[in-house]
Chain A
Amino acid sequence: MAKLRSASELKKFRKDILAGRDPARPCVTLCLGTGCLACGGEQVHRAFIDEIARQGLVGKVDVRRTGCHGFCERGPLAVVFPREICYLKVTAADVPEIVSETLVHDRIVERLLYQGDDGKKIVHENEIPFYKHQSRVILGANRLIDPNRIEDYIALGGYSALAKALFVMTPEEVLDEVKRSGLRGRGGAGFPTGKKWETTRDAHGETKYVVVNADEGDPGAYMNRSVLEGNPHSVIEGLIIGAYAIGARHGYVYVRQEYPLAVANLTVALEQARDLGLLGDNILGSDYCFDVAVHRGAGAFVSGESSALMAAIEGRVGEPRPKYVRTAISGLWGKPTNLNNVETWANVPAIINRGADWFGDIGTAGSKGTKIFSLVGKVKNTGLVEVPMGTPLRRIIYDIGGGISSGKEFKAVQTGGPSGGCLPAAHLDLPVDFEALERAGSMMGSGGMIVMDEGTCMVDTARYFVQFLSEESCGKCVPCREGLKRMLRILTGICAGRGRPGDIDLLEELGEVMSEASLCALGTTAANPLLSTLRYFRDEYEAHIQEKRCPAGACKELIRYHIVPEKCQACMICARSCPAAAISGAKGQVHVIDQSKCTKCGVCLEVCPSRFAAVAKISGKPVPAPVAAGTRIQGKK
């Protein structure tokens, strides 16, 4: 590929790509993101290649591998262009039919379409409720791009924002545009991006760095991963524009080792950008020079913290530093360094192309633009969701997420990652933005969203996150390390029925000290899971401590299974299914659970036919004395 030496050469390059494409030619785009790959996406891709060859269609139809489309619950996904027919849960066995019906005859394979609760089939992706309520400014391009082909990105107008920044705008104007847009960091703290850029720009010294934070350490979160895997150029383009505004000549992308596909796609993207003269010396023929290196981090959750991340890039231990100097002023090797999250950078090209006013029209007064959430847990449509800031939780969980998957009632939604908080049903109409979440005792974090139903114990939830943090902190400062250690022990005790009066006060006291005294933001936010569950679900803590009762019936040590003699029909199903052989009884005789053998796996409750419903889960009350062996059942109903 020859280097592009001006904005007009880039324009011409794009025109040539578009001219070489026949918009009427069928193209299957296959999602090969994390979720779809795990569900056999690769086999589906193979099947398409083979089937297209078998039916003699090579050169007549295209297959495009893309990144995550977001609707991971129904993957693997295939969208057939030009009509944008969306097929869900596609298997290799479905492929011959898709090829002969849709690709050859332009007919729809009904059974692979989305079917709504009302039974109606939906053909187009953007009419499916999961997508209909979203605004996919960042994620929308994923379905149109093969991340290993820079042409796909350029065809969509990619790198035109860079050209605009370099040739139409001064660095000051770029900075001003980002400042005016109101963009705030997507990595957790929501710091105004333009202001941060300005600090580094104005900081003393010639050498400056820009860094992409792709550490994404939150369990269950994969927003950043999907952007890097599916549309790496959007991040690279944003980074170059930011570097230009700041006056940096070197950049780093810090990606976690556990994201090999993101690393691979990013590496290819950087090479292709370099080949086209979009990176390196004299970008697009201008006198601006900038290049990027990839750093693979094998770090803990704490390595995502800015000073820890920079220490890791320098080759030191990834620990937050104690000094009170911002990395924007003294970061990598003591030089001013601007760090932003993947999603923050990916917003930049759109802001430059469409303007600060366009961006500022999306969202709320204090939080502009869209935000990507990874919606997981007890929700029907798990996946990646991108909505305008200020979208109510209810819209995300019910309209997009399809509501609770288990048939139980909604209980809480955990936002903000491990140091976020849990919000109860009373907050379902909360508009999701930085301020509202924080006021409610939670936080935006990087966009994790875990939906919990009635069967989830909130004490156990707090315990889970406290455990995660106690293992993933650096362990350096006393309030965080010892505080988490003690908090974990107390919470584990409460869940196991060893809670004592005074535990709640002690937990609160600990939480307060951790929040005030810890060295870095991991420690100062580490008490959030505890404090937010105490704020909204204090009665659950009290039930565990005072009555030894787990209201959700989730804490194993606090529950017992019991077969109600009056209901048991002696069908033997539970006795045969019990993996611990803890259930005695024979035909005609009431079954009894031997409490000393019971492992509380709950299989008996699951398998007992619902018309009998003879197995009861008991918590906080003694188990009724077992009936005498051989007791006959009461007459069949």
Chain B
Amino acid sequence: METIQLEIDGKKVEAERGTTLLQAARKAGIEIPTLCHDDRLAPFGACRLCLVEIDRGGRKRLVASCAYEVEDGLVVKTVTEKIVKIRRMIVELLLAEATTGPLEVLAEKYGLKGSRFKGDEPACFLCGLCVRYCAEVKKKDITCFIGRGIGREVAFPSDLARSACPLCRECLPLCPSGAWYSLYLKGYEGMPEEAGPRPGA
């Protein structure tokens, strides 16, 4: 493994080539907020909370630190006025959908009392942690994304997929919005007892 040097928030940081800015920052004790990231999963880049500013020879750019690989000599800032503004707006957008644990913490951090957007009911953030955990770690494809644009949803592709669920329930605590829990419960309604204990039962 080749070790390279970069600078994050003024700190000289060492990182292994092929790792991400997020990993390098966390290793150096610099916290970057994330909602769709999980070390066990491939970078997804959906929540955009982890945006940081990179500077390469004076050319500045915002990138998702969870997906951007470290580069030698890169200068990174994890907090700028612009970044804070963006993160605030992202949290505000999501606050309209749900007000669960991780989001509450972020709202507090960015000084948000509520959202200017009105939500309907607790909704999924589509971070995909449940879908990806099931596919990448458990090697099952019990759920998937369906639809696109504002119609995108997490769903069971078929009854067959659902009945193949090992009911490990490891995906449940991953959910940052709480929406997965209710979908999960709904999805397993009417499942025969011999399929094992029902989640939440």
Chain A contact residues, CB within 8 Å of chain B: 300, 302, 317, 322-324, 469-479, 481-486, 488-489, 506, 509-510, 512-513, 516-519
Contacts and interface: CB of A to CB of B under 8 A. Distances in A.
Given A323-B43, A482-B94, A486-B117, A516 B151 contact: no
Nearest to A506: B116
B200 interface: no
A478 B69 contact: no
Nearest to B118: A489
Interface of B: 43-49, 51, 62-64, 66-69, 82, 85-86, 89-90, 93-94, 96-97, 116-117, 125-126, 128, 145, 147-152
Contacts of B44: 322, 476
A517 B46 CA distance: 10
A636 to B, nearest CB: 55
B187 to A, nearest CB: 20
A315 B64 CA distance: 26
A518 B89 CA distance: 12
Contacts of B90: 478-479, 482, 513, 517
A478 B87 CA distance: 11
Nearest to A474: B148
28 contacts: A300-B149, A317-B145, A322-B46, A322-B67, A324-B67, A324-B68, A471-B148, A471-B149, A473-B149, A475-B148, A475-B149, A475-B152, A476-B46, A476-B152, A478-B126, A479-B48, A479-B93, A481-B150, A482-B90, A482-B96, A484-B149, A486-B96, A486-B117, A512-B85, A513-B86, A516-B51, A519-B46, A519-B64
A476 B131 CA distance: 13
B126 A323 contact: no
Contacts of B152: 474-476, 481
Considering the complex of A and B, which 9 residue pairs feature the smallest CB-CB distances, nearest first?
Answer: A322-B45, A475-B152, A482-B93, A322-B67, A513-B89, A471-B149, A517-B48, A485-B150, A473-B149
Given A322-B45, A324-B63, A477-B45, A470 B86 contact: no
B116 A472 contact: no
A476 B48 CA distance: 10
Given A470-B149, A472-B149, A486-B93, A477 B82 contact: no
B147 A475 contact: yes
Nearest to A477: B46
Nearest to B116: A506
B82 to A, nearest CB: 7
> Which label, helix, strand, loop or mixed, suits the secondary structure of the B interface?
loop
Which of B48, B85, B94, B97 has the largest count of A CB atoms less than 10 A from its CB?
A: B48
A302 B148 contact: yes
Given A324-B68, A475-B147, A482-B93, 10 more contacts: A317-B145, A322-B46, A323-B45, A473-B150, A475-B152, A476-B44, A478-B90, A478-B125, A478-B126, A513-B85
> Which label, helix, strand, loop or mixed, suits the secondary structure of the A interface?
helix
A472 B117 CA distance: 22
Contacts of A317: 145
Contacts of B66: 322
Nearest to B48: A517
B47 A481 contact: no
A282 to B, nearest CB: 41
Contact of B69 (A324, A469, A488, A489): A324
Nearest to B64: A322
A482 B96 CA distance: 10
Contacts of A300: 148-149
Contact of A517 (B51, B94, B97): B51
B43 to A, nearest CB: 5
A544 B150 CA distance: 26
Which of A481, A482, A509 has the largest count of B CB atoms less than 10 A from its CB?
A: A482
B148 A473 contact: yes
Given A478-B90, A486-B93, A322 B51 contact: no
Contacts of A483: 93
A118 to B, nearest CB: 49
A484 B96 CA distance: 14
Contacts of A519: 45-46, 48, 64
A516 B90 CA distance: 12
Contact of A475 (B48, B94, B151): B151
Contact of B43 (A322, A471, A474): A322
B89 A481 contact: no
Contacts of A510: 89
Nearest to A486: B117
B51 to A, nearest CB: 6
Nearest to A323: B67
Contacts of B93: 478-479, 482-483, 486
Contacts of B148: 300, 302, 471-475
Contact of B150 (A470, A477, A509): A470
Given A324-B68, A484-B149, A484-B150, A478 B47 contact: yes
B114 to A, nearest CB: 14
A506 B92 CA distance: 12
A473 B150 CA distance: 8
Contacts of A484: 149-150
A403 B126 CA distance: 47
A481 B123 CA distance: 13
Nearest to B63: A324
Contacts of B67: 322-324
A473 B125 CA distance: 16
A343 B113 CA distance: 51
Contacts of A302: 148
Contacts of A477: 45-48
Contacts of B43: 322-323
Contacts of A485: 150
Contact of B94 (A323, A478, A489): A478
A477 B190 CA distance: 34
Contact of A478 (B48, B68, B85, B117): B48
B34 to A, nearest CB: 12
Nearest to A476: B46
A101 to B, nearest CB: 55
